[in-house]
Structure 1
Amino acid sequence: MENTQLSNPKAAVLGLQHLLAMYSGSVLVPILIGASLHFSSEQMTYLVSIDIFMCGVATALQVFGNKFFGIGLPVVLGCAVQAVAPLIAIGQKYDFQTMYGAIIVAGIFVFLVSGLFAKLRRLFPPLVTGTLITVIGLSLIPVAFQNLGGGSTTAKDFGSMTNLAVGAFTVLLILALNVWGRGFIRSIAILIGLIAGTLLAGALGMVSLAPVAEASWFHVPTPFYFGTPHFEWSSIVTMILISLVSMVESTGVFFALGDVVDRKIGETDLKRGYRAEGLAVLLGGIFNTFPYTTFSQNVGLVQLSGIKTRKPVIFSAIFLVILGLLPKIGALATIIPDPVLGGAMLVMFGMVAVQGIRMLQQVDFHDDKNLLVAAISIGLGLGVTVQPSIVQFLPKTIQLLFGSGILLSSVSAVGLNLLFNAKTPQPEMASHDGLNEKD
């Protein structure tokens, strides 16, 4: 299907597909933090609703690229999962206001250093970027399998035949639609898989409509809902470090999407992308939600659907804003069972990993130095992802840095590439500062 022929109704359906792909991952963040900090049911209702609303605002900031902020790629933003543990720790040690004060300062920091961070583009040749994207995809696959088994590994029915059957049905349907589907049907294979998998799960008694019944009809976003923010230096430093992790991950996602949509990503593009994320994080602190970052699972969705225009993501941003204002409608997306989500995630995260492998095809692996850079960096990234407790005795700040497989892989790839290839010309993404895609 040609992107230039994409009608608004079809773009809207594709936008819904993007929304469902990221919805559970983003909603999970306020649920985890709110439960850990013992938020009341009223506070939890606000937290989830405003989170979805701000996901739409953050996505709009990024997708509507201009000369000052927004990278203008088909990207969807959601809550940064890596911020969950640090925010819970800050909230438990201090209070809600300190947590949001740290987020506000972190957003300002990202906005201010965007130009400097973008100048580091030369540190991300295909060897580094391809390695990072591969690790992002592979490190997310365990998340997909956890959902495939039923969500919580401590649940009695985790890995039950029913869960596995529903997840397998979702995967097989998505595969069948991609093999035998044509045109628009093939483009929305993930969406059809999610809906059909949910219907099958409903027939098996795995779907509860209670979240829809309990949700309110309308909600108004309120700045500083939990009170005036407090500013505490150690909390601020912690959230700045988390923001740097998100910026590194976003860099890889930007390059991966640029590769998918055949657009070269330059320094100015990166600067605008970081600025948009900084604004999103700042607004998250003001409206008492959480830091926002580019969601890598939607890269696989763009690749799989073959639709490279921004129009579906624009609709997705609109839907997110509406769902944030109408919690009862937004709650419909929360009834998708974990095994169904896991099946779709398996396909999408696998596509992200393969996109990284495709980028690595540009690298000369006849050179053993390049081989070592990729091998060690992928090994470190996956190793700490599978065994995060290996850093449990390190200082807390160091744990934040090296407990993230994505960041550890990035540091390794950048450092080893500089060590081995400092004097060797490396291919890099050519600068392209225009927003020339047709919407």
Structure 2
Amino acid sequence: MQMSKPKQLSLGFQHVLAMYAGAVVVPLIVGGAIGLTPEQLTYLIAIDIMMCGIATILQVWKNKFTGIGLPVVLGCTFTAVGPMIAIGNTYGIPSIYGAILVTGLFVLLIGKYFSKMIRFFPPVVTGTVVTTIGITLVPVAMHDISGGQGSADYGSGLNLALGFGTLAVILILFRFGRGFLKSIAILSGIVIVTLVSSFFGMVDLTPVRDASWFHLPRLFFFGMPEFNIIPILTMMLVAVVSLVEATGVYFALGDICEDDLDDTDLKRGYRAEGLAIVLGGLFNAFPYTTYSQNVGLVQLSGVKSRQIIYIAGVMLILLGLVPKIGAVTMAIPTPVLGGAMLAMFGMVISYGIKMLSRVDFENQNNLMIVAISIGMGLGVTAVPDLFAIVPGSLAVIAESGIVLGSLTAIVLNLILNTRMDRSKQHVLKEGHAAN
């Protein structure tokens, strides 16, 4: 059944709200750490939002060369935050974008070969990766419910009431709502509790007042890119890590949409991410990856239409071109976003568990893969300083629960299941020879 335009716009805006905070936080953190001026930071946030929209459209638009063709939303990758800060402070901002440009080309080139690794992602691996992604992101939502790490009123009663109040409204609408109202439970919960927050002085409209009405992207805004080998290799490693994470998201969405992915689909998906990274580098935005919270939103709303994601992509482009409109979403209190994210990240976990339900757990090897991988991912998330002695170039892997848990699942599957399969094949060959 065809939805009306207002309903489509509401669903698209719901996807924008789901990813907007994460997309804005990355340039805020990096820009602040490398000493950008307010004018430069304003440009960085606006261009990143706009390029998130372009990257999302490139990924949803399935053609012969690029696009996974699933309802996936792309945003700035958190994996690159630490490396980009280190590169900017050591080599300068132009080196960040030189490394991003080369990395984008690298992803475009390796997409064909990385997609051939699909056999290394059976359900025990993809289910574990998706579950780990959700579990390791839950602390982010809980910190936001408390008011955001470092906030003066962290953990206050008002913050907790707003955060868990948002979650309660979402649950009520999801339980008693029907049709369209149920599908926009996340958006409705955010809007309702934001309005309530305004009575407590929690809604700051200063960013809206200060933001400009129109903004155009500029090629090489931060100067001509510089190419240094260490930053390039570091960002390449970040890209490979992001591709591993994206693979799990692709399979989760493919499962939700009942679309069996093959290596050709993955190749187009990887290429779309590579092309988005190159375009981002040209206009001085940041690298992109698939956003898990939007996967949870697809599952929660039950709306799997690519048309909705196209609408979300166009909205992001407009928000980037008109910063004053984009600033409206920044007025949403952090605890409110935290309550919504808890629901979405929880849905990611539950879908990962659903994927794991198809795994043969009579096989003890599969039990061990899931146990150790999720344990590693959750362990690093809970104890972030565990690998403090690891060199900076490897910290990308060691300090991320998502990355470490995902790589552990892949490696353990290779060690435990691949060797077992080969031994079985050897026994069968011997049996045939004897006959």
TM range (shorter): over 0.9
Q: Deviation at 1:424?
A: 5.3
Identify the match of residue 91 of structure 1 among 88, 92, 107.
88
Aligned to 2:103: 106
Distance in 1 between the 2:17 and 2:421 partners?
A: 42
Is it true that 1:5 corresponds to 2:2 in the alignment? yes
Distance in 2 between the 1:332 and 1:50 partners?
A: 16
Aligned to 1:375: 371
Q: Bigger CA drift: 181-190 or 363-372?
A: 363-372
Distance in 2 between the 1:166 and 1:23 partners?
A: 19
Q: Between Structure 1 and Structure 2, whose CA radius of gyration is higher?
A: 2
What secondary structure does 1:362 align onto? coil
Distance in 2 between the 1:11 and 1:308 partners?
A: 12
Aligned to 1:437: none
Identify the match of residue 318 of structure 2 among 322, 339, 343.
322
Q: Bigger CA drift: 92-101 or 396-405?
A: 396-405
Q: Deviation at 1:398?
A: 2.3
Q: Which structure 2 residues correspond to residues 119-158 of structure 1 after superposition, within 5 A? A: 119-152=116-149, 154-158=150-154
| Contact 2:16 2:316 (C-alpha < 8 Å) held by counterparts | yes
What are the superposed Cα offsets for residues 337-358 of structure 1, whole Å, 9 maximum, x if unpaired?
1100000000000000110000
Q: Bigger CA drift: 136-145 or 400-409?
A: 400-409
Aligned to 1:422: 418
What are the superposed Cα offsets for residues 149-168 of structure 1, whole Å, 9 maximum, x if unpaired?
0012x333111100000111
Aligned to 2:197: 201
Distance in 1 between the 2:400 and 2:311 partners?
A: 32
Identify the match of residue 79 of structure 1 among 65, 76, 85.
76
Aligned to 1:261: 257
Distance in 2 between the 1:254 and 1:320 partners?
A: 21
| Contact 2:56 2:74 (C-alpha < 8 Å) held by counterparts | yes
Identify the match of residue 55 of structure 1 among 23, 39, 52.
52
Which residue type is aligned with residue 62 of structure 1?
Q
| Contact 2:183 2:300 (C-alpha < 8 Å) held by counterparts | yes
The root-mean-square deviation of aligned C-alpha atoms, in Å, is 1.1
Aligned to 1:225: 221
Aligned to 2:428: none
Q: Deviation at 1:67?
A: 1.3
| Contact 2:390 2:398 (C-alpha < 8 Å) held by counterparts | no
Q: Bigger CA drift: 12-21 or 404-413?
A: 404-413
Identify the match of residue 39 of structure 1 among 33, 36, 48.
36
Q: Which runs of 5+ in 2 are unaligned?
A: 423-435
Q: Bigger CA drift: 177-186 or 396-405?
A: 396-405
Which residue type is aligned with residue 57 of structure 1?
I
Aligned to 1:171: 167
Distance in 2 between the 1:156 and 1:334 partners?
A: 18
Aligned to 1:14: 11
What secondary structure does 1:391 align onto? coil
Distance in 2 between the 1:45 and 1:137 partners?
A: 31
What secondary structure does 1:242 align onto? helix
Normalising by structure 1, what TM-score?
A: 0.95
Is it true that 1:344 corresponds to 2:340 in the alignment? yes
Identify the match of residue 310 of structure 1 among 302, 306, 310.
306
Which residue type is aligned with residue 61 of structure 2?
F
Normalising by structure 2, what TM-score?
A: 0.95
Q: Bigger CA drift: 227-236 or 29-38?
A: 29-38
What secondary structure does 1:43 align onto? helix
Q: Deviation at 1:106?
A: 0.6
Distance in 1 between the 2:212 and 2:152 partners?
A: 31
Q: Which runs of 5+ in 1 are unaligned?
A: 427-439
| Contact 2:134 2:345 (C-alpha < 8 Å) held by counterparts | yes
Q: Deviation at 1:5?
A: 2.4
Q: Deviation at 1:193?
A: 0.7
Q: Deviation at 1:171?
A: 0.3
Aligned to 1:248: 244
Q: Deviation at 1:141?
A: 0.2
Which residue type is aligned with residue 124 of structure 1?
F
Question: Paired residues, what number?
Answer: 422
What are the superposed Cα offsets for residues 277-313 of structure 1, whole Å, 9 maximum, x if unpaired?
0001111111001001111110000000000111111
Aligned to 1:236: 232
